[in-house]
Amino acid sequence: MSDLSAEDAKLVTLARTARARTRAAEGAAVRDSDGRTYAACTVALDTVDLTALQLAVAMALSSGVKGLEAAAVVTDSSDVDVNVVRHFAGAAIPVVVAQGTGEVRDVVHT
């Protein structure tokens, strides 16, 4: 899985950085259809519970993007929910799933 494009590798790096900076359970990053990137981490409060991917998509949406090209999630969990990407961007969007070390475990498509 080391054959990621430079743009997808950048998403993994951004997701790793977001996760490490906050010591969150997950980090995620998305690239919009204009090439801009948005990175986020898990938010787990008493009243708000968002995955890193949900927050990254929300950040992109709040910036007015029209679509997404790709996403990455860095997590130790084996279960990654990509529904938020599917609902906003449609089918066949690649989501890179990586471990905290940056090692890619899988690329799933919405």
Q: In which residue are the tokens 């709040």 written?
A: 62
Q: Is residue 17 part of a domain?
A: yes
Residue 99, domain member (yes or no): yes
- Is 26 in contact with 52 (CB distance < 8 Å)? yes
Q: Is residue 30 part of a domain?
A: yes
Torsion, CA 99, CA 100, CA 102, CA 106, rounded to 10: 10
Query: Is 1 contained in some domain?
Result: no
Both tokens of 99, joined, read 């471990």
| In-domain check, residue 21 | yes
Sheet of strand 26-32, all strands in order from the earlier edge strand to the far edge: 37-41, 26-32, 68-75, 94-98, 104-109
The pLDDT value recorded for residue 2 is 60
Domain assignment present for 14 = yes
Which of 58, 2, 50 lies closest to 26, judged by CA? 50
Expressed as residue numbers, the domain containing 59 is 6-109
Per-residue pLDDT of the chain (110 residues; tens, 9 = 90+): 468 999 999 999 999 999 999 999 999 999 999 999 999 999 999 999 999 999 999 999 999 999 999 999 999 998 899 999 999 999 999 999 999 999 999 999 99
* Tally of structural domains, the chain: 1
The enclosing domain of 73 has a CATH number of 3.40.140.10
Beta bridge partner(s), residue 35: none
Whether residue 93 contacts residue 65, with contact meaning beta carbons closer than 8 Å, is answered with: no
Extended strands (E) in the chain: 26-32, 37-41, 43-44, 49-50, 68-75, 94-98, 104-109
